[in-house]
Structure 1
Amino acid sequence: MTTFDAILPALAGILKSYEASIKPYLPLIINRNVYGCIVLIIDACHEETIHLESDDSGMRQLTAKICVQLKPHVKEPERLWMFEDNLQLLIDDPRTLKFPLEDNEMRPIPEVYVIDRLAQEATWETISDPDDDSRVSRVVFYSIKGGVGRSTALAACAWSLAASGQRVLVLDLDLESPGLSTSLLPHSRQPAYGITDWLVEDLVGNGEAVFEQMHASLSTQQRGELIVVPSHGFEPGEYVSKLGRVWMPGFTPEGHRQNWSERLQRLILALEQKHQPSIVLIDSRAGIDEVASACVTDLAARRIYLFAVDSLQTWQGYRMLFDHWRLHGVAPIIRERLQVVGALIPTWGDGAFKQATRQLRENAYSLFSGSLYDEAWPEPDPEAEAIGALSSDLFNFDLPDLSAPHTPCAIGWNQAFAAIESLHDRLQSTDPDQIKLVFGSLLTDLQVIIGDNQ
């Protein structure tokens, strides 16, 4: 019997074998439902024709082969086909989330598309573009695995930027494992509410009741300011019960449906309008789930830091995500915003930091070149000017290129920042130059992002 991962490759092979038979019925949509079962959708104008196909026709053979080979992910033959009026309009509609079916050489099969029906609305392939007119940039700190120094790096960078005169808005969106806000704020400064409270109250139109009491401001010795919006308030209350409701869609006063990430976007816009920050730093949930999806793809971030340790689990996780973007054709939309960060690079031993950074860069290069970088063009023919022009537009970097997203912002392991529990007190007593020494490469990139908006 066919398992889930074999459905599309097997179907692609069958369709290629019966290419002549299926061609008159194209375009074709493969609809894969939440259970992993498929139906094939063609235009309604073919409904009568397909029913008149003889028992020995190519289409009847194709149908029988699909039902046998893809069992149990297909139903009986008479339920395999569905018919849709004006199918091409559905395909052309930008709201239709689809991707081309690929053959075994990863080449799209013309006019054959896949629509995936998922149980949750987080899809990872709806990429929101940053607003070019916005005066504030959003930066997401993300990792495929936890325990890689992501939240510590965000806290230290936020503190340093505020100390240098910037107004920094920090959002703790690691809702299922909150902790960043408690490390930045002393217990006495924790606000009454947090992001989870607002998302729950917004479902009943009561978001304004908690909005003014869900952020806390810390002034630094300089003219900067650090504004922290926690996951939960001073008293978490029924946090687990609230967390189970934040993913719910809501409705605007005009009756328009909004999924949970759209509601979150509305909250962030309101916070930006209120505080007018220089930059917004967002601590994302680790892994591949709904919160992480919203942070990475739905919040129009200008920079997405991919925190990594040099391990097989890290690279496998990122490769799954990159391959998903490539398959759905959205890799070119998001890849220029990505930047690898190594936050726990060993510093003990002769040459350990340099060697570990080099190894991290090489493995990151292998990941990016295999999934996100364009294939390099061959040396252009001097007479082929068009090819030369195209090659300059390729998204491709050499291994040693310091400007490449695979070249990590390298942060060495440091005892002073090894634990996040008491980071607030530690940051207050730490020499700003030490923070810059440890997190300098990341801070430099953040300063460039702030400068681009001013």
Structure 2
Amino acid sequence: MTTFDKILPAAAEVLTAEADLVAQLDWLVINRDLNGRVRFIVPESIEANDALRAKIEALYQALTERIAAHAYPVATGILFEANVDDACAGGARFPLEAFDKVWIADRLATEGNWAQIAPETQGAPRVVFFSIKGGVGRSTALAACAWKLAQLGKRVLVLDLDLESPGLSSSLLPPERQPLYGITDWLVEDLIDQGDALLEAMIATSDLSRDGQIYAVPAHGADPGEYIAKLGRVWMPKVHSDGRRESWSMRLQRLLQRLEARIQPDIVLIDSRAGIDEVASSCVTDLGANLILLFALDGSQTWNGYEILFKHWLRSSVATQIRERLQTVAALVPELDPTAYLADLREHAYDLFLETLYDEVSATDDEGWSFDLASEIAPHQPWSVRWHRGFAALRTLHGRLAQIDDEEVRHVFGDLIGRTLRSLGWAEGYPKVIDGGTF
């Protein structure tokens, strides 16, 4: 039996065997539909060329014999389009490895395909807090970073995009300061052209600020209302009056641009949904993040999950577009023997990056994007967040931040905050920020 995972290797072997024929084509698209079945899409000029069309049919027949149920009969398995852009429209598009003219068009049930990487934003830096698994203290660390940045005089915009597990705003805002609306409300109302009317009523300022300000935009308002019903609609694309289709992630980008224009922040902190799903994809790949913090516990679930994601970027030929924005964060570093724990986590992170995202370099040629195990500037070198009993419960975080001082935050989050500041080029303005995160 041929399973889904064997489709592309089989296609590569079949096309390699007929490399001369493939070289004659301007382009070839291997279209995988929602059911995982494959068709060829070729230039429409081939339709009237009996000899060349017969060769394409024979090529497709050879593929059908390899992938069986994942193919259509030859009579319906070949489509014709004017150009490659039309052939790939509406699908996730990436080249078939080792072929210059062959593209894969994946038709997915969701739009979160992880293979469309938006360029880095040129305005206020956007920092995404992401994790493969939940329960790693990601939201707590974001709240602490926002708190410290505000103490340093920054205008900090915080977005709770963990829509299916909301709660970040409660760590930054007491109940009486919760705004009337949230991101889910905007995404639903935007479908009928009244999202922007909610904008002012979905922003709240935190009472934790001192010299700067924290502007929190929650997943939902003070009264969630029919949150589940709304959540089932936020992923909807918007079809404009002129027929233009705007995906939900594009709408999310537009919301963020509106908020940035309104608030004029110095930095944007985005709490992403954990896991490899629709929301996380938009946060990590679609919003132009400048820095993506990959929270990790040292365990097989963490590394297996990140390996799946990294290898997808490799197969989709987009790894080079995102790898320099990634940074490993050691979450919940235990109190018992933290040095040994961090050493093990660093080694496992290094092995993952070396196998997937780092370039292969020889002993005589150090060109390429790669780092030694001990490199302090490498993305595998973990920025640490210590486990602390007082920060273990997110529900009490607002009270904790209202009562504690820099020393307590430094002890738990200092390495993460200090290194984040340095990565953004802000440490120079704060002479108390030194290596190791002390400030």
Q: With structure 1 as the length reference, what TM-score do the two structures score? A: 0.88
Is this contact kept in 2: 1:279–1:450, CA < 8 A? no
1:160 match:
148
| Structure 2 contact 157–268 (Cα < 8 Å) conserved | yes
State the alpha-carbon separation in 2 of the partners of residues 255 and 76 from structure 1: 34
Select 2:329's aligned residue among 338, 341, 346: 341
Give the CA deviation at 1:449: 4.9
- 2-structure distance, mates of 1:408, 1:15: 42
CA distance in 2, matches of 1:52, 1:145: 50
Pair 1:379 & 2:359 matched? no
**Matched residue SS, 2:68:** coil
Match of 1:127 among 117, 120, 124: 117
Q: What is the aligned-residue RMSD (CA, Å)?
A: 2.4
For 1:96-107, list aligned pairs within 5 A.
Answer: 97-102=92-97
Matched, 1:77 2:77: no
Given that 1:170 and 1:281 are in contact with CA atoms closer than 8 Å, whether structure 2 keeps it comes out as yes
User: 1:91-119: CA deviations, max 9, x gaps?
Assistant: 8x9998532223xxxxx134222111112
Equivalent residue of 2:35, what SS?
coil
Where does structure 1 lack aligned partners over 5 or more consecutive residues? Answer: 103-107, 381-390
Distance 1:49 1:164, change over 3 A: same
Which letter does structure 1 place at the counterpart of 2:101? E
Which has the larger displacement, 370-379 or 443-452? 443-452
Deviations 1:384-439 (A, max 9, x none): xxxxxxx54x1111110010001010112111111111110111112221101211
Choose from 99, 104, 129 the match for 1:109: 99
Query: Partner of 2:412 in structure 1?
Result: 438
Partner of 1:65: 62
Deviations 1:210-238 (A, max 9, x none): 21111211244632211111111111000
Larger mean Cα displacement after TM superposition, 437-446 or 362-371: 437-446
Please state whether the residue corresponding to 1:41 is helix, strand or coil. Answer: strand
Aligned to 1:13: 13
Task: State the shift of 1:450 in Å.
Answer: 4.9
Q: Where does residue 429 of structure 1 map in the other structure? A: 403
Offset at residue 23 of structure 1 (A): 4.1
What is the TM-score normalised by the length of structure 2? 0.91
The corresponding residue for 2:138 is 150
Cα deviation, residue 21, structure 1 = 4.8
C-alpha distance in structure 1 between counterparts of 2:61 and 2:17, whole Å: 13
2:265 and 2:294 map into 1 onto residues whose CA distance is 23
**Partner Cα distance (2:173, 2:305) in 1:** 32
Please state how far the C-alpha of 1:296 moved relative to its aligned partner: 0.4
Counterpart for residue 388 of structure 1: none
Contact 1:140 1:296 in 2 (8 A): yes
For 2:52 and 2:217, the matched residues in 1 are separated by: 64
Q: Distance in 1 between matches of 2:154 and 2:320?
A: 31
1:86 and 1:237, CA in 2 relative to 1: closer, same or farther beyond 3 A? Answer: closer
Give the superposition deviation at 1:169: 1.2
Matched, 1:395 2:369: yes
Report if the CA contact (8 A) 1:26-1:112 is conserved.
Answer: no
Distance 1:256 1:408 in 2: 43
**Contact 1:25–1:46 (CA<8 Å) still a contact in 2?**
no
Give the Cα–Cα distance (whole angstroms) in 2 for the partners of residues 83 and 155 of structure 1: 52
Aligned to 1:407: 381
Instruction: Find out whether 1:367 has 2:363 as its counterpart.
Output: no
Name the amino acid aligned to 2:161: L
C-alpha distance after superposition, 1:176-208 (max 9, x if no partner): 010111222111211111111111111111113
**Selected match of 1:310 from 290, 293, 298:** 298
Post-superposition shift, 1:127? 1.1
Quote the Cα distance in structure 1 between the aligned partners of 2:269 and 2:176: 23
Could you tell me which residue of structure 2 aligns to residue 172 of structure 1? 160
After TM superposition, give the deviation of residue 280 of structure 1 in Å.
0.9
Bigger Cα displacement from structure 2, 240-249 vs 63-72: 63-72
1:76 to partner: Cα distance: 1.1
Pairwise CA distance, 1:255: 5.8
Q: Give secondary structure in 1 for the equivalent of 2:206.
A: strand
Equivalent AA in structure 2 for residue 353 of structure 1: P
Q: 1:72-106: per-residue Cα shift (whole Å, max 9, x none)? A: 1111122222222345x768x9998532223xxxx
Matched, 1:290 2:278: yes
**CA separation of 1:79/1:433 partners in 2, compared to 1, >3 Å: closer, same or farther?**
same
| C-alpha separation in 2, matches of 1:288 and 1:53 | 40
1:281 partner SS: strand
- Contact 1:137/1:449 (<8 A) preserved: no
Unpaired runs of 5+ residues, structure 2, are 430-439
Secondary structure (helix, strand or coil) at the match of 1:357 reads helix
Q: Quick one: structure 1 residues 97 and 52, their matched pair in 2 at CA, closer, same or farther if it must change by over 3 Å?
A: closer
Equivalents in 2 of 1:147, 1:221: separation in Å? 26
Shift of 1:262: 1.3
- Give me the whole-angstrom Cα distance separating, in 2, the residues matched to 1:69 and 1:255: 40
Aligned partners of 2:299 and 2:413: how far apart in 1?
Answer: 22
The CA deviation at 1:163 is 2.0
Letter in 1 for 2:119: D
Partner of 1:421: helix, strand, or coil?
Answer: helix
Which moves more between the two structures, 254-263 or 159-168?
254-263
3-state SS of 1:70 partner: helix
Instruction: Establish whether residue 24 from structure 1 lines up as the match of residue 14 from structure 2.
Output: no
Q: 1:105 maps to which residue?
A: none
Q: Which amino acid aligns with 1:366?
A: D
Instruction: Using the TM superposition, give the Cα deviation of residue 451 of structure 1 relative to its aligned residue in structure 2, in angstroms.
Output: 4.1
Q: Which moved more, 1:12-21 or 1:272-281?
A: 12-21
Q: CA, structure 1 residues 212+52, in 2 after alignment: closer, same or farther (shift >3 Å)?
A: closer
Figure out how many residues of one structure are paired with residues of the other and give that number.
428
Pair 1:426–1:261, CA change in 2 (3 A): same
Structure 2 CA distance for aligned equivalents of residues 252 and 276 of structure 1: 28
State the partner residue of 1:387: none
Q: 1:416 to 1:111 in 2, by over 3 A?
A: same
Closer/same/farther in 2, CA of residues 48 and 356 from structure 1, 3 Å limit? same
* Identity between Structure 1 and Structure 2 (%): 48
The answer as to 2:195 corresponding to 1:207 is yes
The SS at the match of 1:344 is strand
